[in-house]
């Protein structure tokens, strides 16, 4: 933890420089940097230099209203939001995705993907294929928990409160996004916002009369930076203590601060105007989550891009449990629900793609978007679609993979794969082959055998490679 003490107290420079666990099992950040620097010189890490953003669509989005509309099917089966032509000849998306349709030639859609069952959980990102750990935690077990030069966490998870503190807390009753399985807590994702490790592990002790004065805090941080710039070092601080302090005060902190972005970029990502609270029926118990999704989704993807640019290797992104469109007391039906959910997703992901293209990041960042399951081929009597494990939507962008294609196809009712099916383990293998040099991983010593098998055994989705 970084401690700023009351200026009236007598503290040593050692106390001032105390930077602690950062969610890493009690290892100080300066010690961690020292350990990882030694590791980095002892053996090259088997990394490709690419990053992954896993956008988890919590609640189970419909394959039919997203990227497989089946408009020739009978009413009650075909997309209730219609279809829209894309830049890929003969390929259409659901009617709430006009922006994504315009960049479909930069996407890969897998229409024969299934997650295995219709249970509410988070199995594509935390499940049997990932040994019960967040996929990013397995990556961190191979790559390390922090960048040895900058201290940037290599595995992060961001929820609505990371970008908007007016949103509700993260809901994870169907699975723990920070689960590490048997790997240990050191490999848990770094979670900023809403009581995550950034808040728990950074203790700010200031003059009690000025505790809420952010300008005072910022001016103090600026003064510390100026001292470092002027003197080149802090007396009594070794290289790793100094690097740890710079990590908190410098690049890592800035990566989490959207105010450093151009105002036009922030506005392009902003999904809040698309679904105003007064446009959403308060009859649904999920009303607050619909609001939070619209307020935060775009800025979460912008934050994820910033983290990847700063060196983070794996970022889990999700809003709360909002894609469950039963048309019951909790959830809107499909047609109404896609206005709340489809429009922000269309806006946010297309903004991300345009941004990455402009910044030359197409081959550096892989975006994956899917949920825990799909929805039933037939609309229920109330206008909703229920749980369905036979098929689920899967979208990918970037990462140096082969874009501009639809992989596989489904049955006429979009209920099952009609071509080679792909499952969670195939998606996992595709992601790991994007961020890791699998040949080098096989040569690493000291890895748990179940981890090694999980990463190196499954077949990737070959048409993407």
Every domain of the chain and the residues it spans: 1-43+193-255, 48-190+260-464
Is the pLDDT at 195 greater than 60? The verdict is no
Question: Does 273 score more than 70 pLDDT?
Answer: yes
Q: What is the pLDDT of residues 54-102, one digit of tens each?
A: 999 999 999 999 999 999 999 999 999 999 999 999 999 999 999 999 9
Asked whether the beta carbons of 52 and 307 are under 8 A apart, the reply is no
In this prediction the pTM is: 0.84
Q: Angle 175-178-179 (CA atoms, 0-180°, nearest 5)?
A: 65
Q: What is the radius of gyration, based on Cα positions, of the chain?
A: 23
Question: In this predicted structure, what is the pLDDT of residue 221?
Answer: 52
At residue 4, the pLDDT reads: 41
Q: 209-243, pLDDT tens digit by residue? A: 443 444 454 455 556 555 655 555 544 445 455 54
Report the range of poorest mean pLDDT among 15-24, 226-235, 414-423.
15-24
CATH topology of domain 48-190+260-464: Alkaline Phosphatase, subunit A (3.40.720)
- DSSP output for 166-211: TSPPP--TT--TT-BTTS-GGGSPB--STTSHHHHT--B---GGGT
Phi, psi at residue 229, to the nearest 5°? -65, -40
pLDDT per position as a tens digit, 97-138: 999 999 999 999 999 999 999 999 999 999 999 999 999 999
| CA-angle at 50, arms to 44 and 56, nearest 5° | 125
**Phi-psi bin for 80: left (phi > 0), alpha (psi -120 to 50), beta?**
alpha
Q: How confident is the model at residue 11 (pLDDT cuts 50, 70, 90)?
A: very low
The pLDDT score that the predictor gives to residue 186 is 85
Which carries the bigger pLDDT value, residue 396 or residue 5? Answer: 396
The first and second tokens of residue 379, run together, are: 């609309």
Nearest-CA neighbor of 323 among 370, 271, 380, 276? 370
Q: With cut-offs at 50, 70 and 90, classify the pLDDT of residue 152.
A: confident
Q: In sequence order, what are the residues at sequence separation of 6 or more whose Cβ sits closer than 8 angstroms to the Cβ of residue 223? A: none
Give the mean model confidence (pLDDT) for residues 2-21. Answer: 40
Q: How far is CA 212 from CA 104, 139, 205, in A?
A: 47, 38, 11
The pLDDT of residue 10: 45
Query: Can you give the pLDDT at residue 21?
Result: 37
Asked whether 80 and 346 are in contact (CB, 8 A), the reply is no
In the chain, the N- to C-terminal Cα span, in Å, equals: 42
Neighbouring-strand partners of residue 292: none
Two structure tokens written together for 357: 């293209």
Phi-psi region of 304 (alpha: psi -120 to 50; beta: other; left: phi over 0): alpha
Q: What is the pLDDT of residue 192?
A: 82
CB atoms within 10 A of CB 313: 27
- Look over the chain and give the mean of its residue pLDDT values, rounded to a whole number: 84
Window from 69-78, 220-229, 269-278, 314-323 with minimum mean pLDDT: 220-229
pLDDT of residue 5: 41
Least confident of 115-124, 156-165, 199-208: 199-208
């Amino acid at each position: 933890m970084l401690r700023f003490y009351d200026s009236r107290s007598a503290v040593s420079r050692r106390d001032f420089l105390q930077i602690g666990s950062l969610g890493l099992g009690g290892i100080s950040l300066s010690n961690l940097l020292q350990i990882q620097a030694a590791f980095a010189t002892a053996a090259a890490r088997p990394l490709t230099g690419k990053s992954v953003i896993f956008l988890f669509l919590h609640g189970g989005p419909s394959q039919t209203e997203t990227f497989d509309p089946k408009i020739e099917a009978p009413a009650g089966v075909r997309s209730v939001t219609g279809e829209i032509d894309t830049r890929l000849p003969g390929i259409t998306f659901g009617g709430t995705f006009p922006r994504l349709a315009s960049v479909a030639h930069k996407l890969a859609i897998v229409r024969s993907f299934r997650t295995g069952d219709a249970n509410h959980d988070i199995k594509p990102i935390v499940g049997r294929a990932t040994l019960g750990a967040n996929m990013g935690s397995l990556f961190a077990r191979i790559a390390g928990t922090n960048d040895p030069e900058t201290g940037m966490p290599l595995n992060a998870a961001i929820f609505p409160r990371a970008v908007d503190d007016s949103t509700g807390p993260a809901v994870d009753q169907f699975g723990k996004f920070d689960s590490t399985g048997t790997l240990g807590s050191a490999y848990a994702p770094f979670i900023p916002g809403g009581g995550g490790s950034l808040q728990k592990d950074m203790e700010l002790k200031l003059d009690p009369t000025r505790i809420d004065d952010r300008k005072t805090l910022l001016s103090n941080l600026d003064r510390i930076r100026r001292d470092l710039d002027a003197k080149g070092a802090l007396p009594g601080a070794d290289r790793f203590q100094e690097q740890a302090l710079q990590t908190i005060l410098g690049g890592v902190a800035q990566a989490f601060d959207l105010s450093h972005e151009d105002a036009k970029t922030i506005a392009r990502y902003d999904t809040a105007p698309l679904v105003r609270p007064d446009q959403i029926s308060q009859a649904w118990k999920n009303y607050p989550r619909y609001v939070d999704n619209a307020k935060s989704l775009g800025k979460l993807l912008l934050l994820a891009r910033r983290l990847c640019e700063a060196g983070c290797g794996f970022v889990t992104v999700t809003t709360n449990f909002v894609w469950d469109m039963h048309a019951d007391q909790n959830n809107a039906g499909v047609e109404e629900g896609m206005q709340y959910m489809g429009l922000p997703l269309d806006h946010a992901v297309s903004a991300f793609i345009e941004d990455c293209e402009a910044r030359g990041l197409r081959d550096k960042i892989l975006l994956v978007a899917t949920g825990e399951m799909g929805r039933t081929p037939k609309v229920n009597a109330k206008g909703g679609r229920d749980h369905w494990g036979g098929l689920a939507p899967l979208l990918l962008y970037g990462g140096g993979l082969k874009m501009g294609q639809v992989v596989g196809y489904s049955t006429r009712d979009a209920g099952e794969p009609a071509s080679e099916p792909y499952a969670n383990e195939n998606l996992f293998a595709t992601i790991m082959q994007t961020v890791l040099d699998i040949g080098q991983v096989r040569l690493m010593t000291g890895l748990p055998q179940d981890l090694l098998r999980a990463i190196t055994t499954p077949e990737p989705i070959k048409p993407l490679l």
